[in-house]
Chains A and B, each alone.
Chain A
């Protein structure tokens, strides 16, 4: 709407004959009061809105400490078959914080990929790379099979069928004395190159690693 009031008025208070005006002043008392009231309102709203937003979004930027958990004796795990162990990902919330990991000793004849050299044990996550259902190791067919949508993975966790977009995630392993310890999670692409852990359903080949960036809360070692 065109404002006729200001059309013939100068923006200078002096020209408009205001009492106490001085050379070059454009801020009238009305403008000053309006601006101050809006500014004070914005400060008051921001003082509760910003902390609340930070409170809600804070966990995205919080990095969780790496946990190492003893899963068994070094002799427990063969080098040609998987042993399922239960790992606590989030402590103190019961079953909801646990996940199954399939562990096997490093086998130089099978694990020929350069990224796996020097790893004492191979620990493969049971979390399907499609949308996160729990996969099961089927010994007879030497495949990981997902019950939800039919994802199938081979002995190394690489996808051989179904909708998953990348191989099964893995966990870091180390030997501490006589015990095998399983540490933080990492994701792999189809060449088994290691990446910071991604959620299921996020591909890591080609442009995928940039479309689905790693998050501050979950980083590889």
Chain B
């Protein structure tokens, strides 16, 4: 914010700016709180040097022409964070019991728990939002040429994150354990099984046996809430690190500005 000019008062009427050590040795509660905050941050920073990392991560130079399309990656990350938070709280009520308990616990969350329908709705619709955002982010990266040298590895990590997001969608779909969830999973597992040679073993691994069994649901639940979120969080960290390290690309319609002395003289 630009500083407002001082009002044109004669010198004796102007309030002098506060100086350190002034104020008759007294300080107000606001100043005390401010000072306490600074002390705590300093204490941590002196022992961790975290402020350097935070500055490195947050105060980066961005190219001219950076626009709203560049926010799709952060939007995807916030969709993931929303899924993580709502998922943790849904797990407080969910029971992966195929003999009716899973369906009953979802019914209880939806109908009886305070704000249960809302939190479950956030998780359910948020999953679709996350998939849509992942694809938009991927499209932005592709059409802006942001996958090119030196950012190829970040593209590869992004593809793995895309696959993991699909795994999350697939494993999460079974958990309500209604008719749609059950038959969609039967069909999905059988589509996995149509891969030659490895397919039959892959579908056996997913089901935890040759038939849909007692452990299939808990297996999907463990993959959905423990295995894949951890992998996504770790790869997301690597993804962000590379973005901060390599910087973002300018949009393809922006031409590089040459320095004046490097320009060819007109003939």
Contact = CB atoms under 8 A, between A and B. Distances in A.
Check if A and B associate. yes
Interface of A: 56-57, 59-60, 62, 64, 89-90, 92-94, 96-97, 131-133, 148, 197-202, 211-215, 217-218
12 contacts: A59-B204, A62-B209, A89-B212, A94-B98, A94-B99, A96-B212, A131-B186, A133-B183, A197-B210, A198-B200, A199-B203, A217-B204
Contact of A133 (B187, B200, B203): B187
B204 A200 contact: no
Interface stretch (B159-167, B189-197, B231-239, B252-260): B189-197
A59 B183 CA distance: 22
Interface of B: 98-100, 177, 182-183, 186-187, 189-191, 193-194, 196-197, 199-201, 203-205, 207-215
B201 A93 contact: no
Given A131-B191, A201-B190, A201-B194, A212 B200 contact: yes
B192 to A, nearest CB: 9
A93 B210 contact: no
Contacts of A202: 193-194, 199-200
Given A56-B205, A199-B203, A218 B210 contact: yes
Contacts of B214: 90, 92-93, 97
B153 to A, nearest CB: 20
A211 B198 CA distance: 9
Given A94-B100, A132-B186, A132-B190, A89 B200 contact: no
B209 A96 contact: no
Nearest to B222: A56
B209 A59 contact: yes
A133 B204 CA distance: 18
B25 to A, nearest CB: 59
A192 to B, nearest CB: 21
A200 B190 contact: yes
A60 B204 contact: yes
